[in-house]
Amino acid sequence: MRKFGAPIATIALGVMAACAMVALSAVPVAGQTAVTLVGAGDIASCSQNNDAATARLLGRIPGTVFTLGDNVYPYGTTQKFRDCYNPTWGRYKGRTRPAVGNHDYDRTTQAEPYFAYFGARAGTGRRGYYSYDRGGWHVVVLNSNCDRIGGCGETSAQGRWLKQDLNRNASRCTLAYFHHPLYASGNGTATPQVRPFWNMLQRRNADVILAGHAHRYERYPTMTPGGIRSENGIRQFVVGTGGEPGGTEIDRENAPNMQVVRPNAFGVLRLSLRPDSYSWRFVSAAGRTFTDSGTDRCH
């Protein structure tokens, strides 16, 4: 049974104003067809109703829904998917392409309820990694639960698959998403084990990485896997804003060059993907005012 508690106050931290608009190098070109991806991670439990508020946003925004893992809390049982996720974000399962998080594995046998719930939409073989195309973009979904999947290294089964997938990719623009961020300001949420993903994606000129795990919103400039700002780097967004509250502490040592941070910013990230560029806007749940937006070109 869902419980409805008092709203959780958000705290604005970092180098941004509450209504930030970032104008970068790209300007949408008239006549270009855009496709939409929208979503977040760290989503549903039966002890809060923030996920219901973020799910209502999905009903107003068309396009493919992505999830960034930890779809249910505190563990990934069939009952949690049925009673907590399904009444909210589950209304849009037919257009959802999910990623698996660590809580989706908890108290399960290899996240079996997650794979049973999403079926073919979570890829084949219950591996938790797959890819798809939207418009002129190639989208790669990875399983960052490295200890559960036989590793995240370049010679692991997933690493070999990723290399092959990227080698076959003829798209100019590439986006990847998975649960654990390489860089994050939440204490204990930065995950060096996913650096091989970044290395392989960087070599193939990927443009954007989305992650969750830290229950907040963060935006970074284009960076190398080593955390150096570079026009040829990858822009990371942390979007752990689907509903589950988190702490407000900031660990800047593991968040190099972070441009925007907002703890407890419940909402979704909307991405408009064009053949040679992209734009983003963070859309807050009702009653909240935080936003962040901008544009950039593909490599």
Q: Report the length, in residues, of the chain.
A: 299
- 3-state SS record for 226-295: CCCECCCCEEEEEECCCCCCCCCCCCHHHCCCCCEEEECCCEEEEEEEECCEEEEEEEECCCCCCEEEEE
Mean pLDDT score, 5-30? 39
Residue 285 has pLDDT above 60, yes or no: yes
Is the pTM higher than 0.75? The answer reads: yes
Residue 92 has pLDDT above 80, yes or no: yes
pLDDT value of position 32: 62
Residue 6 has pLDDT above 60, yes or no: no
pLDDT value of position 179: 98
Tell me the CA distances in angstroms from 149 to 120, 144, 157, 158, 160, one per residue in order: 18, 8, 9, 8, 13
Contact 263, 35 (CB under 8 A): no
pLDDT value of position 12: 42
Averaged confidence pLDDT in the chain: 91
pLDDT value of position 33: 86
Residue 209 has pLDDT above 50, yes or no: yes
Residue 251 has pLDDT above 60, yes or no: yes
Contact 192, 161 (CB under 8 A): no
Cα distance between residue 55 and residue 184, in whole Å: 24
pLDDT value of position 28: 42
Share above pLDDT 70 across residues of the chain, in percent, rounded to a whole number: 89
Cα distance between residue 140 and residue 137, in whole Å: 10
pLDDT tens digits for 120-150? 999 999 999 999 999 999 999 999 999 999 9
Chain CA centroid to CA 142, Å: 11
Beta strand spans in 54-198 (E) = 64-67, 96-97, 130-134, 137-141, 173-177
Tokens 């091989």, located at residue: 196
pLDDT value of position 161: 98
